[in-house]
Amino acid sequence: MTNRPDSRHFAHVSEWVFDLDNTLYPHHSNLFAQIDVRITRFVSELLTLPHDEARAVQKQMYRDYGTTLNGLMALHGIDPDDFLNKVHDIDYSGLAPDPALGDAIKALPGRRFIFTNGDRMHAERTARQLGILDHFDDIFDILAADLEPKPAPSTYARFLERHGVEPKNAAMFEDLGRNLETPKSLGMTTVLIVPRNFEPTFSEIWERDAKHDDAVDFVTDDLTAFLGTIIASPAE
């Protein structure tokens, strides 16, 4: 694992795959924190639990089922559309447009995708607010994945098949190391996005992924600068 790439490390890449939350925008924007709060509220109202108990249940389902949504469907038979609409009913106005990131993504040679455990509407709203939506060829969301979230291997298989992506020609950018294990095993180049200066964020300790370091080829706390480095001409 390294944080010092250059364009030669990515010369073979023609398929660029980006997670959405805490990857295409920085952790400190706290956009996902709004979603997290709404998930807790959903669990609290559904199960008639006080906040702290609902949050504990939420996180247990996240650990056991990959997403809280999966756990709620398996254990309580909820309507996924209702859940997705409610938890993504957030304020995007605080997310600053990022023209530099847009320019960097636009300059990448080949196709570009958003691959998210969220839904398409949330991805579109987020990318539109950032000013980068038009630079992507498509969005692969939780509904396209038949509600089976990353890191399930079958979800990556669905993505690759739907879009005709050859893993050895692809790079994947993610903020969770466990979501890079399957891409790495398939031959994709993997990049882990971490909080700026590695400072703690709202994420709980159990969400950390140090044990998945072997799945990570590169690590960066600045996606825009990283992309700028790999699209630049290699040093002589």
| Residue 1 forms part of a structural domain | no
| Residue 225 forms part of a structural domain | yes
Res 12: pLDDT: 95
Walk along the chain (236 residues) in steps of 10 and give the mean pLDDT of each run: 73 97 89 92 96 95 89 95 93 94 97 96 97 98 94 96 98 95 97 74 44 82 93 61
Peptide bond into 151 cis (omega under 30): yes
| Residue 2 forms part of a structural domain | no
Pair 121, 184 in one domain: yes
Q: What is the DSSP-derived secondary structure letter of residue 107?
A: T
Res 71: pLDDT: 94
Report the distance separating Cα 233 and Cα 147, nearest Å.
40
| Residue 236 forms part of a structural domain | no
Res 195: pLDDT: 85
Pair 174, 137 in one domain: yes
3 state DSSP class of 152: coil
Q: Which of 57, 72, 87 is the last residue of a domain?
A: 87
Pair 14, 108 in one domain: yes
Residue 114 belongs to domain with CATH number: 3.40.50.1000
Domain extent, residue 158, equals 7-28+94-231
Res 3: pLDDT: 62
Report the distance separating Cα 6 and Cα 119, nearest Å.
33
How many domains, in total, are found in the chain? 2
